Structure 1
C-alpha cells in the first residue's frame, strides 16, 4: 500500500488528470488503487521509465560534479602541502649589499645562508656564479673557508661575478682571506669534474663541503634585449647563455623539423596550444621566417584568443614559448640530472648540495634525482615511485630535537643521504612582493651521509 502511494505521488506530478488531487487524498483506498491501475498501463510504464532515466542522468551529473569538485579541492590542497613558504624575515639590506637592484638580486639569500650556516664550510663550489651575490655572502659568512670555486657559462655574468670576488679578496672584507684560494672558470656546470681536476686532482675525491646551483636567469640577462630572452623587448632570436655556442633560437624556429618544434613547445614549454603554434611557425617560414623576438611575439599574439585573458593571456603563452626555446638552445634539462649526480659525488660526508629552480620541469628533475640519489638508483622514477619510496623510508620529523635547524621541517632518509627539504622552500611573501621574478623559485637541499 505504501508503494502504491509513492506511485500515486509521482503521477500527481506527471499526469494532468491528477493535478486537482491533493496528496492526502491518495491515502484513500479508491484513489490508490486507481493510481496503481493507471500506472500499470503501457503509457504509465513508459512515463515511469522516463522518470527513472531522468533521475539517473541527474544523479550521474551530480556525481560527476562532486568528483570534479573533490579533485579540484584535492589539487588545491596538494599545492599547499607541496609549498613550504619560508618564514625567515627578509633582509633587504643584505640583498642590496650583495646584489644590485637594477641588474641582479640574489634570490632567497637568507635561506641559502641558513642551508650552509651549520657546516664547517672549508670548501665551496658555486656552479652558477652569476653576479656572485650568493657567493660573496657565503664567503663572508664562513671565514674558515680555504677553497672557493665559481663557475658560469655566461661571459657577461662571469666577468661581473669574478670582479666582485676579486674585490672581496683584496679588500680583506671576508676575514682571513690570505688562506682562501679562489678559482673562477668560464665553464658550464656540466664541466664540474674537469674544473675540479684543473684546480686540484685530490678534489675528485669526495671533499667539497657545500655546492650551490642557482638555475635562474639574472636580471642583467633578461633586461638586455640583445640576448633575446625578454618577451617585452625586441631583439634578435638568440637566447644563448654561451655566446660562443652555435645554436640560436632563430635556427630552431626557421630550420628544425615541424614535429621537433612542436615537441619543444609541448615538452619544454608545457604549452597546451603547441600544435597551432607549430603550424603558424612553419607557415611563417614561407614568408621569410622569424628573425626577432618581436616577430615571435606578434605571431603568439595573433594565435592567442582574446577571451583567454587578453594581454595577460598572450604574455603567459609567450613566456612558456620563450622558456621552451631557451631550454632547447642551451640543452638545459638534458645535462641537469647528470650534473646533480656529479655534484653529489664530489661532496664530502656531511656536505650539502642546494639547488634553486624556477620552473616545474627543473624542479621535477631535481626532486626525482634527489630521490634516486638517496635510494642509490639512476632509474629516474616518476611521482608515483617517489611517493612509494617516501612511504617506505618514512618521513623524519625533528620536532623533539633541540639542535634542529629551524628551516628544516620534514626530511627523507635514504641509504646514501638525506633530503632535507621533503617539500621545496619558496620565497617569503615579503621577498615576492619586492622581487616578483623570484615568485616561482624553489629551493631543495640534499645532504650526503
Structure 2
C-alpha cells in the first residue's frame, strides 16, 4: 500500500454531529368517398363507441398537455445553490475545475465536520475546496488509484496546508482504489473505523488530465493505444477485450455497459477486424465506429456512438460497476452517526447503482426501485443558502437527502460543458 503523509501535527478525532443539511386529438374524416343515397341512423352501440372514442381522444390530448417539458424536468433537479463565479474562476486558473463544487460544499456544510475522505482524489479540486471551507477539519484522507493523479493532488494539498498554516490538520493521500477504504482508514488509526468519519465523497467521472492524455486510451478524439486502465498496474486492457475475448462477451459489453442500440453491427465489425490483424489503437476503433454508424444511420451520430463504445470498454477493463457497488457499502459502514456520503455520477448505469444501493443501505420497506418507501418533505432546507431538496427518503439506518439527484446549475453548464451529465446524490447515516 503506497501512502504519503502530508502533515504530522495535531491529533485527529472524529466528532458526531446533528442531522441537518442539507395524442393529439385525432380527427377521423373521409374525402371523396362513396355517398349513400339514403342515410342510415347509427345504432345505439355505434353511438356509444363513437362517444367512447371521442372521450378517449379528449383524455389523450389532456394527458399530453400535462406532460412536463424537458426544460421543466431539468429545472426541477437544479440544486438552487448560488453559483460562485469568483471561486470557479480561481479553480479554472489552477487548471482543473471540480464539477458541482458549490453543491458539494453545501452537502458537507454541517456542524462538527472534523474528518473527510475523498475517494476519487483526482486533481484535488473538491478536496481543496473542502479543506479551505472547513477550518475545523482535523483529518483528511485522499484516495486515487492513478499514480499521476495522486502525485499532482498530493503536491496541491501539501502547498495548501503549508500556505494556510493548518498545523492541526492531519492529511494522508494513498494510491489506492476506493474499494479499499476500510483498509486505508484502519492503517492510519484503528479508532477511525470505530468512530467513523463525518464525510465521504466520490466523483465517478474521468478527470480532464486522463482524457487529455491520448496515451491513456480514454479519448475518442485522440490517437493512442487501446489501454483504458485507471490503474496502470492492472493487467487487462481494452486491446485484450477487443482482440481476445469471446464474441458473445464483446457483444454483451457493448449492449449492457455502453447501452448501445447498434451493438450487434459493431460486434460483427470487430470480429471481422480480428481476421485482418485486430484493433490496436483508439483511432482504428473510432474509424470502425464511424463506418458502422454511417452505414446503419447511427442513433445520435458517430461521436455519440464512439463515446458509448469507449464507456463500455472502460467499465469492463476496470470492473467499475461491481467495484462501485462494493465501495458504496464500505463507505456507508465507515460513516459516523450523522456522517454523509455524496456521490457524483455521469451516466445512467452508475446513477442507477448509486440510487439502488442507497435505498438498500438505509434499510427501507419497499422495492429497490423506490416504490413503497417513506418520503418526507425537506422543510428544513428552505433557505437559498442550502441545497433545495424537495423530499428525502427515510430508512432505519439512514436518510437519503436527494430523492431526485441534483444537477449542475445553468451557470455552471454554460462555463463547463463536461458537467452537463453530472448527478449528485447524498445520503446521511443515523
Q: Calculate the TM-score normalised by the size of structure 2.
A: 0.83
Q: Structure 1 residues 134, 99: CA separation in 2 closer, same or farther (over 3 Å shift)?
A: farther
Structure 1 residue 105, shift from structure 2 partner? 1.4
> Would you say 1:302 and 2:291 are equivalent positions?
yes
Residue number in structure 1 paired with 2:275: 286
Q: Deviations over 1:53-99 (max 9, x none)?
A: xx99xx69x97999799689758579817951133232232134345
Please give the alpha-carbon distance, in whole angstroms, between the structure 2 residues aligned to 1:121 and 1:239. 36
Residue number in structure 1 paired with 2:25: none
Please give the alpha-carbon distance, in whole angstroms, between the structure 2 residues aligned to 1:214 and 1:295. 30
Q: Deviations over 1:402-440 (max 9, x none)?
A: 899443332111111111111111000110011000000
Q: Structure 1 residues 417, 425: CA separation in 2 closer, same or farther (over 3 Å shift)?
A: same
More helix by share: 1
Q: Deviations over 1:195-230 (max 9, x none)?
A: 011111111224200111111111111111111111
Please give the alpha-carbon distance, in whole angstroms, between the structure 1 residues aligned to 2:176 and 2:273. 36
Please give the alpha-carbon distance, in whole angstroms, between the structure 2 residues aligned to 1:401 and 1:100. 33
Structure 1 residue 382, shift from structure 2 partner? 4.5
Structure 1 residue 397, shift from structure 2 partner? 3.3
Alignment of 1:183-262 (within 5 A): 183-262=172-251
Residue number in structure 2 paired with 1:430: 411
Structure 2's unaligned 5+ residue stretches are 1-29
**Which of 121, 130, 147 is the matching residue for 1:129?**
121
Alignment of 1:327-406 (within 5 A): 327-375=315-363, 382-383=368-369, 386-389=370-373, 393-398=374-379, 405-406=386-387
Larger radius of gyration: 1
Q: Structure 1 residues 372, 206: CA separation in 2 closer, same or farther (over 3 Å shift)?
A: farther
Q: Structure 1 residues 71, 98: CA separation in 2 closer, same or farther (over 3 Å shift)?
A: same
Please give the alpha-carbon distance, in whole angstroms, between the structure 1 residues aligned to 2:171 and 2:381. 40
Please give the alpha-carbon distance, in whole angstroms, between the structure 2 residues aligned to 1:333 and 1:433. 30
Structure 1 residue 115, shift from structure 2 partner? 0.8
Q: Deviations over 1:335-374 (max 9, x none)?
A: 1112111111111111110001111100011011111111
Q: Structure 1 residues 272, 100: CA separation in 2 closer, same or farther (over 3 Å shift)?
A: farther
**Which of 232, 256, 259 is the matching residue for 1:270?**
259
Aligned partner of residue 230 in structure 1, secondary structure: coil
Paired residues of 2:343 and 2:425 also in contact (CA < 8 A): yes
Paired residues of 1:213 and 1:355 also in contact (CA < 8 A): yes
Please give the alpha-carbon distance, in whole angstroms, between the structure 2 residues aligned to 1:202 and 1:339. 20
Over the aligned positions, Cα root-mean-square deviation in angstroms equals 3.3
Paired residues of 1:412 and 1:420 also in contact (CA < 8 A): yes
Aligned partner of residue 87 in structure 1, secondary structure: coil
Residue number in structure 1 paired with 2:83: 90
Q: Structure 1 residues 101, 90: CA separation in 2 closer, same or farther (over 3 Å shift)?
A: farther
Residue number in structure 2 paired with 1:178: 167
Please give the alpha-carbon distance, in whole angstroms, between the structure 1 residues aligned to 2:389 and 2:144. 29
Q: Deviations over 1:93-149 (max 9, x none)?
A: 2134345564x2100111111111123211110000111011011111111111110
Please give the alpha-carbon distance, in whole angstroms, between the structure 1 residues aligned to 2:267 and 2:413. 34
Residue number in structure 2 paired with 1:26: none
Residue number in structure 2 paired with 1:43: none
Q: Structure 1 residues 439, 204: CA separation in 2 closer, same or farther (over 3 Å shift)?
A: same
Residue number in structure 2 paired with 1:415: 396
**Which of 138, 148, 158 is the matching residue for 1:166?**
158
Please give the alpha-carbon distance, in whole angstroms, between the structure 2 residues aligned to 1:335 and 1:100. 33
Aligned partner of residue 84 in structure 1, secondary structure: coil
Q: Calculate the TM-score normalised by the size of structure 1.
A: 0.80
Structure 1's unaligned 5+ residue stretches are 1-9, 19-31, 40-47
* Greater CA drift, 71-80 or 199-208: 71-80
Q: Structure 1 residues 249, 65: CA separation in 2 closer, same or farther (over 3 Å shift)?
A: farther
The one of the two structures with greater contact order (alpha-carbon pairs below 8 A, sep at least 6) is: 2
